[in-house]
Amino acid sequence: MPKIKAKAVWVENVRSIVDNQRTHSVVCDLSTNAGGMDSGPTALELSLMALADCGVTIFADVCKKSSIELNRVEVTVEAEKSPDSPVVAGVVMKVNVSSKARKELLDAAWRRTEANCPVLFIFKEPTPVKVEFEGKTE
């Protein structure tokens, strides 16, 4: 089975560079209030950005394949998280679509989107993660 890869490398303080092992990278950092320099999104923000983009991308693709013309698609994702907990309490995904297509067609396209958005699956039905830690003393 083909693998999708990501790699993060620490740069300094709490800043890192994350890449997809192809040609794309993102700088991640914490806010200044959390001790970072705010030079990029946090990992949690990046995961929410991925969820929003997955909704937009899959919906646009479903609509394209269904010959549904779109004027605008906007997905906003909000998460609730207590500052003293690593756990996200809840996520709300708001989808706003403008099109001349009938609402029933748009609703069906969104249902297909939910059935095919891999990032949404990670949030709804978490994928087991096997951690292999290797620490070296130098």
Q: Report pTM.
A: 0.91
Closest residue by Cα to residue 58 from 113, 4, 122:
113
pLDDT at 82 over 90: no
Helix axes 43-65, 103-116, angle to 10 degrees: 130
**Number of helices (H) and strands (E), helices first, in the chain?**
3, 5
Task: Tell me: do 65 and 106 sit in the same domain.
Answer: yes
Q: Is residue 130 part of a domain?
A: no
Q: What is the span of the domain harbouring residue 5?
A: 1-40
Q: Is residue 129 part of a domain?
A: no
Number of domains making up the chain: 2
Tokens of 100: 């001349």
Q: Is residue 118 part of a domain?
A: yes
Task: Tell me: do 119 and 52 sit in the same domain.
Answer: yes
Q: Is residue 68 part of a domain?
A: yes
Task: Tell me: do 34 and 98 sit in the same domain.
Answer: no
Confidence of residue 91 (pLDDT cuts 50, 70, 90): very high
Average pLDDT value for residue range 91-98: 97
